[in-house]
Amino acid sequence: DEKAILAAMAYVDLNPVRAGMAKTPEESEYTSIKERLDALKPQDVDSGSPESPDTSPDTPPEKPRAALAPFDDLTDMPFAIPFGFHEYVELVDWTGRQLRRKKMSIRENTPPILSRLGVDAAVFVSSMDTLLEQFGTAVGDPEALRLHCKLRGLRCMPGVRCDVFFDAA
């Protein structure tokens, strides 16, 4: 569901910021937000001198990377992330600022995506430190988690009482 996707993506993209490994999301290595933002930057013009790739026998070949799912808030592409990239960047930036302040005083410039999805801003920010502790291995609204348990043959799952996050607004 949209709320779970949003929470999980923001949690992962803000990991390096929370851990003190990066000051901003765009500086955080190995995150999808950095990769997406880097792709928007103008590419360097080829200087004419091709760089020779490291073909040392000790260097393992690079594994191919999986493509990132596209953002799409206009159509119903089944494989797309169901909101706009600009909105997501705004949300991650705002959430990162709240985490750096270590205050839960939410400013009035709360990203509109939270209101539209019905997520309480203070709860969203506070969940960024403990998302996996709250939910375990799956994130979603209670009904989606119950279905997940049933499909996996599980009797219980952490996070089924997550109505604080998903039904707060």
Give tens-digit pLDDT for 100-157: 766 444 455 777 778 777 778 887 877 776 776 666 667 777 777 778 778 888 777 6
Whole-number pLDDT of residue 119: 79
Tell whether 160 is covered by a domain.
Answer: no
Structural domain count of the chain: 1
Full residue range of the structural domain in which residue 112 is found: 2-38+69-137
Distance from C-alpha of 156 to C-alpha of 134, rounded to nearest angstrom: 14
Tokens of 79: 């494989």
Tell whether 92 is covered by a domain.
Answer: yes
Distance from C-alpha of 99 to C-alpha of 121, rounded to nearest angstrom: 12
Tell whether 56 is covered by a domain.
Answer: no
Tell whether 51 is covered by a domain.
Answer: no
Residue 46 has pLDDT above 70, yes or no: no
Tell whether 121 is covered by a domain.
Answer: yes
Tell whether 14 is covered by a domain.
Answer: yes
Whole-number pLDDT of residue 13: 92
- Interval 3-38: pLDDT, tens: 888 888 998 998 888 888 888 888 888 899 998 888
Tell whether 114 is covered by a domain.
Answer: yes
Tell whether 76 is covered by a domain.
Answer: yes
Whole-number pLDDT of residue 168: 46
The larger pLDDT score, comparing residue 161 to residue 111, is at: 111
